[in-house]
């Protein structure tokens, strides 16, 4: 399978800028509502990690609200845009917390980071990745999230399979799980769709799945009217699972 190439995203951020606008994503909204209701922990004590942060629309909002955020993306162009917004928010005194933008992939961040997070979230990224790195991520995320901490992930759902633009690669029951674009514009670009069953298969070992949310979001602000179907999983690190291997830092 052809994996997503980071240079595609460099190109898109260079051409389209803030592709999905500046509002936070529905995945970040769900996590924000969840942690707002956690007793005894203000935002300044709530460490977050954003996987595939793009130009930082979510990480910067969490940081502005007082969280400490580690945000990672392999797109240098996305991170440049994120840093420009960060400088602007800092200069306007609008940053109550902090965000560190890190260049790298999902695998890098969880290998490089030495402490624990209260929550890890990722919006519109895991459907771009082959199954093996996501399986590895599920194991590492369980080691890096404190027991009772949250994992909130939004990805494209099988409703987005479009036979006019894509060819199915694998089918599970009647659901297309993996597909490749066949139209000229995105030829060879592979998508891995996420339904509830797939989330359970990958994450239920170490996480209690609390909620699924189905939603839509604009495919891009430059493409008004075209919507993307998303499924968001909110899960909580099991407290009776194996103890995280890394000491708190």
Ligand X SMILES: C[S@@+](CC[C@H](N)C(=O)[O-])C[C@H]1O[C@@H](n2cnc3c(N)ncnc32)[C@H](O)[C@@H]1O
Do β-strands 145-156 and 227-237 pair in parallel, antiparallel, or remain unpaired? antiparallel
Q: How far is the CB of 117 from ligand X (least distance, A)?
A: 15
List Cα–Cα distances, 11 to 75, 91, 193, in angstroms. 9, 28, 23
Neighbours of 237 (CB within 10 A): 25
Q: Which residue in the set 53, 141, 155, 179 belongs to the binding site for ligand X (CB under 6 A)?
A: 53
Residue 6 near ligand X by CB under 6 A: yes
Q: What are phi and psi of 207, to 5 degrees?
A: -130, 140
Give the H or E element holding residue 197: helix 196-203
Among 32, 35, 47, 57, binds ligand X (CB under 6 A): 57
Binds ligand X (CB under 6 A): choice among 43, 54, 149, 158: 54
Member of 20, 101, 150, 203 binding ligand X (CB under 6 A): 20
Binding window for ligand X (CB under 6 A); candidates: 38-46, 123-131, 165-173, 192-200: 123-131
Query: Nearest-CB residue to ligand X?
Result: 54
Alpha-carbon distance of 109 to 249, in angstroms, equals: 15
68-76, 94-102, 156-164, 192-200 -> range binding ligand X (CB under 6 A): 68-76
Size of the site for ligand X (CB under 6 A): 22
Rounded to an integer, what distance in angstroms lies between the CA atom of residue 96 and that of residue 112? 25
Sheet holding 190-192, edge to edge: 166-172, 175-181, 190-192
Tokens in use for 230?
Answer: 């998303």
* DSSP bridge pairs for 50: 71, 121
Closest approach of ligand X to the CB of residue 243, in Å: 26
C-alpha to C-alpha distance for 63 and 44, rounded to whole angstroms: 9
78 binding ligand X? (CB under 6 A): yes
* C-beta closer to ligand X: residue 17 or 42: 17
Q: Is 121 in the site for ligand X (CB under 6 A)?
A: no
150: closest CA among 28, 247, 61, 54? 28
Q: Per CB under 6 A, does 71 bind ligand X?
A: no
Mark residues 158-197: x for contact with ligand X by CB under 6 A, - for none.
----------------------------------------
Identity of the residue, 55 or 207, whose beta carbon is nearer to ligand X in the bound complex:
55
Task: Please list, in sequence order, all residues whose beta carbon lies within 8 angstroms of the beta carbon of residue 248, skipping any fewer than 6 positions away.
Answer: 115, 116, 146
**Is 125 among the residues that bind ligand X (CB under 6 A)?**
yes
- Binding stretches for ligand X (CB under 6 A): 4, 6, 9, 20, 25, 51-54, 57, 72-75, 78, 105-106, 123-125, 128-129
């Amino acid at each position: 399978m052809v994996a997503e190439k980071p240079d595609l995203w460099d190109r898109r951020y260079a051409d389209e800028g803030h592709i999905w606008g500046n509002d936070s994503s529905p995945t970040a909204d769900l996590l924000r509502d969840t942690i707002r209701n956690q007793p005894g922990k203000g935002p300044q004590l709530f460490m977050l990690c954003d996987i595939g942060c793009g130009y930082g629309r979510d990480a910067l909002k969490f940081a502005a609200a007082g969280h400490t955020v580690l945000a990672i993306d392999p797109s240098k162009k996305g991170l440049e845009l994120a840093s420009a917004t960060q400088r602007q928010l800092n200069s306007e005194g609008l940053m109550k917390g902090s965000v560190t933008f890190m260049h790298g992939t999902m695998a890098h961040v969880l290998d490089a980071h030495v402490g624990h997070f209260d929550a890890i979230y990722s919006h519109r990224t895991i459907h771009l990745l082959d199954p093996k790195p996501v399986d590895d991520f599920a194991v590492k995320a369980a080691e890096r999230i404190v027991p009772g901490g949250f994992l909130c992930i939004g990805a494209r759902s099988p409703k987005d399979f479009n036979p006019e633009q894509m060819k199915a690669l694998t089918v599970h029951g009647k659901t297309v799980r993996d597909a490749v674009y066949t139209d000229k514009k995105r030829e060879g670009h592979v998508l891995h769709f996420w339904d509830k069953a797939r989330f359970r298969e990958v994450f239920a070992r170490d996480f209690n799945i609390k909620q699924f949310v189905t939603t839509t979001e604009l495919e891009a602000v430059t493409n008004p009217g075209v919507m993307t179907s998303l499924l968001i999983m909110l899960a909580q690190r099991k407290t009776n699972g194996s103890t995280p291997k890394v000491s708190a830092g």
